[in-house]
Amino acid sequence: MNIRAFFQAAKIEDASSPYDTIHLKVFYPAHSSGSDRERDLGIVPADSRHSPFQVVILFNGINCGPELYQWLAVKLSERGLVVVTFSWIAENLPGMVALTPGVDMKMLAPNMYGQGPTASALPTLLTALERLQAEGVLAGLLDLQHIILGGHSAGGRVAIESADSQFFPQVVAAFAYGAHTAAIVQLGYASGTILPLPDSLPLLLIGGTRDGVIANSSHRYGVTWEQATTPVRRTFQEAIAGGRNDSYLLLLEGANHFSIADPFDSTTGRPFLDFPATQPEDQLRNFMTEAIGLFIDAHVRLQTTALDTLNRLLNSTHPSIASFERK
């Protein structure tokens, strides 16, 4: 399948200049027409045979460029999805300018948590999708009633915390890698607190047994994690009740915090805290892609065989699987 992408820009209404602009890269299945417009401008029509396209919004980790997730965006687009990555430089904390997934700090406070989304970029992204539905190569081809949120690290956290039909009726599922809902003690929480998730939509949590960033950041939560995967596992166990058989915990053997990032960027973020991966990175990413793709196929696209295929994959003896739970 031919995958193409284009760029868009949008304003964040509540942000102050110069940190009020967000830049999107939108990946989509394309079908070359051979037209003059295509040759001159590089604008390739969407392959409408695969429409309407469900949409995945990918939230990057803090100071992790969206290009690190392009491999995943392309892989998911090859399955017939439209995928949006974005770049937003902002000052989420006083004096700290960073590439951010958009973290609404006030919604993380004890008196506000759970009353609204923590993904501050999401309203702007949803508005941008409405514009894409109205004009351009994707006009009339998007399924804006079936939007999936996904992300890495802090971006994964805001994705799973904001995936609630009460906040955004068009959001129908979420997945995250290297994310958890442990509460920061500096915000006033007791040590070791795991904050609840909306628990209203299908959810896939993925973590790595070699996640050094999580392991070496436990002081933020007033504890020392027993294992690198402890807060991810506790999030699955304590933050959701389950009972619908559409919530999953997948721990990957030998994967570290940045196993989802390719190419690896050692110049930004906190890769110096990470542990070395002990499994081939390509193998880990391929397995990750298959699990995420089948999760979406089964619980969003409702493909008839996807659920059985997903269950077989996650219950297999694949060397990338450290453990798997479903509830």
Q: 0.85 cut: is pTM over it?
A: yes
As a dihedral over the C-alpha atoms of residue 26, residue 27, residue 30, residue 36, rounded to 10 degrees, the angle is 40
pLDDT, one tens digit per residue, over 164-216 is 999 999 999 999 999 999 999 999 999 999 999 999 999 999 999 999 999 99
The pLDDT of residue 210: 98
The chain-wide mean pLDDT, for the chain, equals 95
Distance, CA of 306 to CA of 288 (rounded, Å)? 15
For residue 40, the one-letter residue type is D
CB 74 within 8 A of CB 3: yes
292: pLDDT strictly greater than 70: yes
300: pLDDT strictly greater than 70: yes
In terms of DSSP H, where are the helices of 21-145? 36-41, 70-77, 122-134
CB 23 within 8 A of CB 86: yes
pLDDT, one tens digit per residue, over 136-162 is 999 999 999 999 999 999 999 999 999
Distance, CA of 132 to CA of 200 (rounded, Å)? 28
Q: Would you list the DSSP string of 199-213?
A: --S-EEEEEETT-HH
Determine how β-strand 247-252 pairs with β-strand 203-208: parallel
Which residue segments constitute the domains of the chain, with CATH numbers given?
A: 2-326 (3.40.50.1820)
The pLDDT of residue 36: 64
For residue 146, the one-letter residue type is H
Reported confidence tier of residue 40, pLDDT bands at 50, 70, 90: low
The pLDDT of residue 152: 98
